[in-house]
Amino acid sequence: MKKLKKHLVVAAALVAAFAAALGAFLLFSPDDGDAGGGVNVQPAAEALPVRDTSHRLTEPKKSELTIVEFLDFECEACGAMYPVVEKLREECGDRVTFVARYFPMPGHRNAEPAARAAEAAAQQGKFEEMYTKLFTTQKEWGESQEWKESVFRGYAKQLGLDMDRFDADLADPETAGRVQDDQRDGLGLGVQGTPTFFLDGEAVTTPGSYEAFKSLIDDRLSD
């Protein structure tokens, strides 16, 4: 069983690497529109991999390394990398800061509303819970041409959020602006597809397996 799980994680990571390359094509495809789900998002003039407002999944007292992922909740490659990141968080979370940043791709109809749902949940202290919910249910709502905000509202209810506040935050232009702020930084840093990882501010090729990612982290921690 352990060998099977290992092979599944490796296969998932390989799919992630392939889809990230495909995402780069989609982002700049003239038929797909802009990176903001129809909103013209421009690169940040002074782009940063991580900001004070960025969502940290781990916050060790003494962080030795910061890993930032620009992600799209509807992206299958990001979904494939999710269990890899979760395992790394479990093993390295006391030494490594893991940061999630929004980068919804134009070819995914529900990527931007999913990001807004996560941000609306964050306003009630439930970012990680919504982050987990969106990735673990991706197959139920992803790759659809129908709007799935009602599905995301259902998740908010399951998480026990104040629904009046959630609905207001979901529709608030400032919530969409927060998503776009991450996209601007991503574009300014040269992000072209998802997932894209930065280790201490340096962009790295998405590792093709859990073992490769763990080795990369271990090398950085040993420096």
pLDDT in tens, 48-61: 999 999 999 999 99
Q: In which band, very low, low, confident or very high, does the pLDDT at 43 lie, cut at 50, 70 and 90?
A: very high
Quick one: what percent of the chain has pLDDT higher than 90?
Answer: 77
Q: In which band, very low, low, confident or very high, does the pLDDT at 39 lie, cut at 50, 70 and 90?
A: low
Better-predicted residue by pLDDT, 143 or 10: 143
CATH-assigned architecture of domain 2-222: 3-Layer(aba) Sandwich (3.40)
Q: In which band, very low, low, confident or very high, does the pLDDT at 185 lie, cut at 50, 70 and 90?
A: very high
Q: Which residue ranges make up each domain of the chain?
A: 2-222
DSSP labels, the chain: -HHHHHHHHHHHHHHHHHHHHHHHHHHH-TTS--TTTSS-PPPPTT--S--TTSEES---TT-SEEEEEEE-TT-HHHHHHHHHHHHHHHHHTTTEEEEEEE---TT-TTHHHHHHHHHHHHTTT-HHHHHHHHHHTHHHHTT-SS--HHHHHHHHHHTT--HHHHHHHHH-HHHHHHHHHHHHHHHHTT--SSSEEEETTEEEPPPSSHHHHHHHHHHHHH-
